[in-house]
Amino acid sequence: MDLIIEKKLSEYKTHIIDYATLKSILINMNYVNINDKINSLKQKGIIKSVKKGLYIHTSVINKNIFLKELISNNLLENPSYVSLDYALSYYGLIPETVHEITAITTKRTKVFKTDFGVFSYKQIKKELFALGIKTENSQNGNFMIAGKEKALCDKIYFTKGVKLTSKKTMTDFLENDLRIDIDNLSDFNIEIISKYYNISKSKKIQILLNLINEL
C-alpha cells in the first residue's frame, strides 16, 4: 500500500504536500487512522515535515530534486517572493552562495528553521510587494522571485546600520560590502527602481537610482 501512496504523492511535482491533500489521498485509500498513517510515512522517510501541516515527499520514486524556492513560496499562508541575498546570488550579482532562503511578504517578519534549511521573511508595505517580481518556471513547478532590480532595491531598503547617504557611500557598499560589480548594473531596468523610490520615498533608493542613471 505504501508504494501506491508514493505513486500518488509523486504526481505532485513540487514535492510539497499539505495536510488536507495528504488526508484526502489516505481517505480515498480507505485509511481511517489518518494521523497514525502520516506518522508511519514520516518514520519510513516517505515524507518529511517542513512545518505543522506541510510535508515534502522525499521518496526515491520521485527523482526530481525539490527546490527550496518552492518551499519558501509555500511556507506562509500569504504570498511571498524570494529576494534579498538569495536572489542576488541567484542572478550572480554577488559571488557568495547563499544557503538561507530570504524572502519578502506583506505579513510580519518570521524565520523557519527546518530540516531543509532556514527560511526567513521580511515584511514590506503592500504597495511595494508586487513591483518588479516575476515567476520562474522549473520542472518542479513555478515560484515567485524578485527580478534583479527589485532584489537589489529590497537589499538596500532593508539594510540597517550602514550610512548610505551619497553616491560614494553607496558605491562603497555595493562594491565592498556586497561585492557587486557596478558594471553589471548598467542594464538594470531603471523604471523599476524609479517606481520603488516613488512608493518607498527611501533616500537610499534615490541614491541608488541616481548612481545607476549615471552608468
Q: What is the pLDDT of residue 12?
A: 87
Identify whether the C-beta of residue 204 lies closer than 8 Å to the C-beta of residue 164: yes
Q: Is the pTM of this model over 0.75?
A: yes
Does 110 share its domain with 137?
A: yes
- The phi-psi region of residue 96 (left if phi > 0; otherwise alpha if psi is between -120 and 50; otherwise beta) is beta
The DSSP result for 23-64, as a single string, is HHHHHHTT-S-HHHHHHHHHHTTSEEEEETTEEEE--TTS-S
- The residues pairing with 109 across neighbouring beta strands, listed in sequence order, are none
- Per-residue pLDDT at 10: 87
Residues 206 and 104 grouped into a single domain: yes
pLDDT value of position 60 = 61
> Are residues 73 and 107 located together in one domain of the fold?
yes
149 shares its domain with 203: yes
109 and 165, same structural domain?
A: yes
Output the CA torsion sign for 37, 39, 44, 48.
Answer: positive
Same domain, 138 and 192: yes
pLDDT at residue number 2: 87
CA distance 59 to 7: 10
DSSP, collapsed to helix, strand or coil, labels residue 17 as strand
pLDDT in tens, the chain (215 residues): 888 898 889 888 888 999 999 999 999 999 999 999 999 999 998 999 999 999 999 866 555 567 899 999 999 989 999 999 999 999 999 998 999 999 999 999 999 999 999 999 999 999 999 999 999 998 888 999 999 999 999 999 999 999 999 999 999 999 999 999 999 999 999 999 999 999 999 999 999 999 999 98
Considering the domain boundaries, does residue 63 fall inside one?
no
Q: Are residues 46 and 72 in the same domain?
A: no
For the residues of 94-148, what is the DSSP string, one character each? SSS---SEEEEESS--EEEEETTEEEEEEE--HHHHTTTEEEEEETTEEEEEE-H
Q: Are residues 156 and 137 in the same domain?
A: yes
> Tell me, what's the pLDDT at 62?
56
Domain residues for the domain of 30 are: 2-57
